[in-house]
């Protein structure tokens, strides 16, 4: 049995986890919107056409923030197409995903859906085929109370109260050659700063995110960040990061180690931000918005292989295995361990597309993928103070990595509730790992619950009516003489839920 230990102290706090770390993303892509959240005529649909069984699954996840409407989609989007009477909305070719966009769902419908599921709307503006003016028009439509052209148009469309959208993304993945209106860092930096300034003149309360690199393997990373910050540092609130992990070497040990690149990515971007801060002798520390993160590799590029110009084609419906859930869990733990800098994160995506929540085509039942569970656990138990853990773990080497710790872990302390939640992945494929953690600094404690997602087959997946990958309660963990000991099964995601201050 592998043995690892972690040492924690309530005085060594990294940061309070912002609720926005458990945000997500719904794009006009595949069956995310149509035949996903929106399904008029479905028995579970409300009057607006939104499926309440899907909405319930989202509510259960307690998603605080939803990024919308893209993604690559936004870089060719005319927001005006999606407002006003539905019978007058144009059907457009969406060239990002080579699909047809009916525009039956647009800003007002989606904002209503967000309210209904308890999420704040994070809007992306099109800086691909459009620019400053369209962004300002959209902001005027959303946030001004009335008495101007676009705010009155919103009222005429039946939405009296402004949407008061606080979070805005200045374009999407503008460093990517696949992006409509792809730009150099210089071009984007200039456009981002001018858009930011114009938007702030319209509404000084907005929080603006500039597009960082689409992934750390981009040839322009991290010079992209440096150049964009040279232009926009003083005018933005967040810099974005995107990353999808995948099993590209067909080697499970290597795949499981991939979250180490996420850790390095965040640290590097934070360093570039700090360099930009130092250069301008600024008091402002740039915060990060990791507004697309997930595992995605099996369905990459699928839009190129299907019949084009279908409405809501079933694309990017990645099936998530047990191994994917472990990698996903490692990524989530990494985000928690950077909660001092990463203040927003959006799981990409939420329904049907790269999603924890699935619906069967044509209005079939809702089911949950393996990745649903680590996300749920993080969202339910991860909102507290992340502690700086000192971890000692056995390590392994893989094809692309050396010294990979078998144990990936984060600890979140809830002082008010007297609870400590330890999130832990055992990367070992065929060995259990015993985790020891002294609790003396907390006055002892008891193990209230050990939740675990694991299974004998790393490639097992869930399906409709077949949710074999779901967490179970594990017994055997103890707190004795003030020390927690729990065994993490091979290739597993775990939550150790401790009640502090009492030992039995």
Q: Which helix (H) or strand (E) holds 292?
A: strand 287-295
Identified catalytic residue from 292, 318, 408, 419 = 292
Site residue total, ligand AHR (CB under 6 A): 11
d(CA 270, CA 267): 5
* Residues 14/340, Cβ–Cβ less than 8 Å: yes
Active site residue 173: yes
d(CA 78, CA 90): 10
Q: Which of residues 6-45 bind ligand AHR (CB under 6 A)?
A: 27
Task: Answer yes or no whether residue 173 interacts with ligand AHR by CB under 6 A.
Answer: yes
String marking each residue 312-351 x if it binds ligand AHR according to CB under 6 A: ------------------------------------xx--
Tokens standing for 92?
């457009």
Q: With respect to ligand AHR, which residue has the nearer C-beta, 5 or 319?
A: 319
Of positions 24, 72, 195, 243, contacts ligand AHR by CB under 6 A: 72
d(CA 49, CA 406): 46
Q: For residue 79, what is the DSSP state? A: G
- Binding span for ligand AHR by CB under 6 A among 65-73, 301-309, 405-413, 476-484: 65-73
String marking each residue 347-386 x if it binds ligand AHR according to CB under 6 A: -xx----x--------------------------------
* Residues 345/290, Cβ–Cβ less than 8 Å: yes
Task: Answer yes or no whether residue 94 interacts with ligand AHR by CB under 6 A.
Answer: no
Q: With respect to ligand AHR, which residue has the nearer C-beta, 124 or 323?
A: 124
Q: With respect to ligand AHR, which residue has the nearer C-beta, 45 or 65?
A: 65
Q: With respect to ligand AHR, which residue has the nearer C-beta, 172 or 259?
A: 172
Residues 6+ apart with CB under 8 A from 243: 215, 216, 261, 262, 265, 290, 292, 293
- Binding span for ligand AHR by CB under 6 A among 70-78, 256-264, 458-466, 484-492: 70-78
d(CA 382, CA 474): 20
Q: What 3-state class would DSSP assign to 199?
A: helix
Task: Answer yes or no whether residue 71 interacts with ligand AHR by CB under 6 A.
Answer: yes
Q: With respect to ligand AHR, which residue has the nearer C-beta, 137 or 173?
A: 173
Of positions 101, 175, 247, 292, contacts ligand AHR by CB under 6 A: 292
Measured from the CB of residue 406, what is the shortest distance to ligand AHR in angstroms? 30
d(CA 209, CA 454): 37
Active site residue 317: no
Q: Which helix (H) or strand (E) holds 60?
A: helix 52-61
Task: Answer yes or no whether residue 108 interacts with ligand AHR by CB under 6 A.
Answer: no
Measured from the CB of residue 123, what is the shortest distance to ligand AHR in angstroms? 14
Q: With respect to ligand AHR, which residue has the nearer C-beta, 27 or 109?
A: 27
Rounded to the nearest 10°, the torsion over CA 489, 490, 495, 498 is 40
Identified catalytic residue from 27, 173, 225, 419 = 173
**Partners of residue 472 on adjacent β-strands:** 452
- Binding span for ligand AHR by CB under 6 A among 46-54, 64-72, 79-87, 109-117: 64-72
Return left, alpha or beta for 377; rule: phi > 0 is left, psi -120 to 50 is alpha, else beta.
Answer: alpha
Query: How many other CB atoms are there within 10 angstroms of residue 28's CB atom?
Result: 28
Query: How many other CB atoms are there within 10 angstroms of residue 219's CB atom?
Result: 9
d(CA 251, CA 77): 39
Of positions 30, 36, 64, 70, contacts ligand AHR by CB under 6 A: 70
Task: Answer yes or no whether residue 99 interacts with ligand AHR by CB under 6 A.
Answer: no
Query: Rule CB under 6 A: which residues touch ligand AHR?
Result: 27, 70-72, 172-173, 214, 292, 348-349, 354
As annotated, the active-site residues are 173, 292
């Amino acid at each position: 049995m592998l043995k690892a230990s972690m040492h924690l102290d309530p005085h060594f706090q990294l940061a309070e986890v912002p609720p926005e770390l458990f945000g997500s993303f719904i794009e006009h892509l595949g069956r995310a919107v149509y035949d996903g959240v929106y399904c008029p005529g479905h028995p579970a649909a409300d009057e607006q056409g939104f499926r309440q069984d899907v909405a319930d699954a989202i509510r259960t996840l307690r998603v605080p923030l939803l990024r919308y409407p893209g993604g690559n989609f936004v870089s060719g989007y005319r927001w005006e197409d999606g407002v006003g009477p539905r019978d007058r909305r144009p059907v457009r070719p969406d060239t990002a995903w080579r699909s047809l966009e009916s525009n039956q769902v647009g800003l007002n419908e989606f904002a209503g859906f967000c309210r209904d599921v308890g999420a704040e709307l994070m809007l992306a503006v099109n800086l691909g085929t459009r620019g400053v003016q369209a962004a300002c028009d959209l902001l005027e439509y959303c946030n001004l109370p009335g008495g101007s052209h676009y705010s009155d148009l919103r009222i005429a469309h039946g939405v009296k109260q402004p949407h008061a959208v606080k979070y805005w993304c200045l374009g999407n993945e503008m460093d990517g050659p696949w992006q409509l209106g792809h730009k150099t860092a210089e071009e984007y930096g200039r456009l981002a700063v001018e858009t930011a300034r114009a938007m702030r003149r319209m509404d000084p309360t907005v929080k603006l995110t500039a597009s960082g690199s689409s992934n750390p393997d981009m040839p322009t990373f991290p010079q992209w960040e440096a150049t964009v910050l040279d232009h926009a540092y003083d005018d933005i609130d967040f810099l974005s990061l995107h990353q999808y992990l995948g099993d590209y070497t067909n080697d499970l040990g290597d795949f499981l180690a991939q979250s180490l690149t996420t850790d390095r990515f965040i640290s590097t971007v934070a360093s570039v931000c700090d360099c930009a801060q130092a250069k301008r002798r600024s008091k402002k520390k740039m915060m990060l918005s990791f507004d697309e993160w997930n595992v995605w590799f099996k369905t990459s590029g699928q839009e190129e292989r299907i019949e084009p110009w279908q409405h809501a084609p079933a694309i990017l419906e990645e099936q998530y295995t047990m191994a994917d859930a472990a990698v996903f869990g490692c990524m989530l733990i990494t985000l928690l361990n950077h909660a001092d800098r990463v203040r927003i994160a959006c799981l990409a995506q939420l329904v049907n597309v790269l999603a924890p929540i699935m619906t069967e085509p044509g209005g079939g039942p809702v089911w949950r993928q393996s990745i649903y569970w680590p996300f749920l656990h993080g969202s339910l138990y991860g909102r507290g103070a992340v502690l700086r853990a000192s971890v000692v773990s056995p390590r392994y080497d893989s094809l692309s990595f050396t010294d990979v710790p078998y144990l990936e872990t984060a600890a979140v302390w809830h002082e008010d509730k007297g609870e400590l939640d330890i999130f832990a992945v055992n990367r070992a494929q065929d060995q259990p790992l015993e985790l020891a953690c002294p609790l003396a600094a907390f006055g002892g404690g008891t193990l209230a619950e050990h939740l675990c997602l694991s299974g004998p087959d790393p490639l097992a997946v869930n399906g409709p009516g077949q949710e074999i990958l779901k967490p179970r309660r594990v017994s055997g963990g103890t707190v004795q003489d003030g020390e927690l000991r729990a065994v993490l099964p091979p290739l597993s995601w775990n939550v150790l839920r401790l009640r502090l201050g009492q030992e039995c």
